[in-house]
Amino acid sequence: MKNKKNIAIIGLGYVGLPLAIEFGKKYKVLGFDINKSRIEELIKGKDSTYEGDLIGLNIAVNLAKVSDEKGLTFSSDASELKSYNVFIVTVPTPIDKFKAPDLKPLLKASEMIGEQLKKGDIVIFESTVYPGCTEEDCVPVLEISSGLKYNVDFFCGYSPERINPGDKINTLTKIKKVTSGSTPEVAEVVDSLYLSIIDVGTHMAPSIKVAEASKAIENAQRDVNISFVNELALIFDRMDIDTNDVLDAAGTKWNFLKYKPGLVGGHCIGVDPYYLAHKAESLGYHPQVILSGRRVNDNMGMFVANKVIKLMIHKGQKIQGAKALILGITFKEDCPDIRNSRVVDIYSELNQFGLNIDVYDPHADAHEVEKEYRITLIDKIVDQYDAIILAVSHKEFLVLNFNTMSKGKSSVVYDTKACLDREIIDGRL
């Protein structure tokens, strides 16, 4: 553990790449990903996630060319991992179609690392999991594939990722980092490692399980709070009052938490509560609040679609064959991340009503959208529509002329983000 730290980052997505860049400025770092096209892209100095600091990337890569002790290189060859003694795992931890944790990427990464593991090595997990997953699920795989013994031959740590995709202010080095280790000594090593790149400091949790739980409740808390205002939106819609007007009024009190209603997707808030619920249920406790919040949030896309249909009927439109435009399919604004996008729920519901639907999103990768959701994005807006739904508030959408995109006064414009001028919309969340 006192040896020079050579770090391998496993998974170069929204979490892994920023880590690789920052560590690459101070340590010898290998950025590893099984996706060869991703490796080729990064070698060329490009990043399709928008999360990498390209200037920092260039600095870290150039360092590797002149130093044997610092700098960042990339590879998809697992055999190269043998030269490294600290492994940081940042692979996805999604849910399956039954909303149960899908640990396949995490366990495959653990197996691959185990095959290269040596005595004294440290494996740090950043992927979001349920409390206990590192030591109960990942460590046995590491032991079997390496033939080494946990906390004797190799050690583990857990430091939950806190990347906020699309956020250019609260970036990796400006967000306090929770750290932990499998022994007190390893916890100190892991903490000092992160402290060397995190400007605002770290918080050392007393155990790996506590660190895992802290990440799970961060996003579960936000999910429950958003589900509350989403439920208010469902109630106030029946009262024919605007939810955002109510929130503006209530927000004048100093201790009111002003969450906004909306679609809850992405890899964190829409997924992590299911991990926490899964662990709770395995222990014989069926969580009430967490899962009720999930049910509310998962149904908001259907509510939006049905509201749009009602508004179209109210304006005398024929629904079957009507043409609709959905603006945005990523899970949040000004970001290319399409994981767990709940915009798809709006699309599916409108499709069942028989509408012809175009989806436009200049930030999303059309190939990825086609592969993941079987939805073909349009390259540009050329038609006029009976219904327009602003699903994601990309900056490009805020300057669009909705009059030219509408067929006329009978067209419906619905704003799920409450960011458009009220004079041009027919409804909003």
The predicted-structure confidence for 413-425, as pLDDT tens digits, reads as follows 999 999 999 999 9
CA distances in angstroms from 10 to 19, 125, 305, 344, listed in the order given:
10, 10, 39, 30
Please check the confidence at residue 372 and state whether its pLDDT lies above 80: yes
Residues 6+ apart with CB under 8 A from 189: 1, 122, 157, 181
Model pTM above 0.75: yes
| Domain closes at, from 185, 206, 227 | 206
The predicted-structure confidence for 65-91, as pLDDT tens digits, reads as follows 999 899 999 999 999 999 999 999 999
Q: Are residues 245 and 191 both part of a single domain?
A: no
Rg (CA), the chain: 24
Q: Which residue has the tokens 């919040």?
A: 293
Q: Which of 220-229, 265-274, 342-351 has the lowest mean pLDDT?
A: 265-274
Residues 6+ apart with CB under 8 A from 104: none
| Domain closes at, from 206, 230, 251 | 206
Q: Are residues 72 and 143 both part of a single domain?
A: yes
User: Domain holding 397: CATH number?
Assistant: 3.40.50.720
Is 268 among the residues known to form the active site?
Answer: yes
In a domain, 191, yes or no: yes
Q: Are residues 179 and 315 both part of a single domain?
A: no
Structural domain harbouring 23: 6-206
How many domains does one find in the chain? 2
The predicted-structure confidence for 210-248, as pLDDT tens digits, reads as follows 999 999 999 999 999 999 999 999 999 999 999 999 999
Tokens matching residue 212:
């895992």
In a domain, 233, yes or no: no
Q: Say how many C-beta atoms besides its own lie within 10 A of residue 315's C-beta.
A: 15
Q: Are residues 142 and 39 both part of a single domain?
A: yes
Q: Are residues 97 and 195 both part of a single domain?
A: yes
So what's the pLDDT on residue 150?
98
Instruction: Assess contact for 315 and 412: CB atoms under 8 A.
Output: yes
Q: Active-site residue among 133, 138, 156, 268?
A: 268
In a domain, 354, yes or no: yes
Q: Are residues 166 and 254 both part of a single domain?
A: no
Q: Are residues 187 and 317 both part of a single domain?
A: no
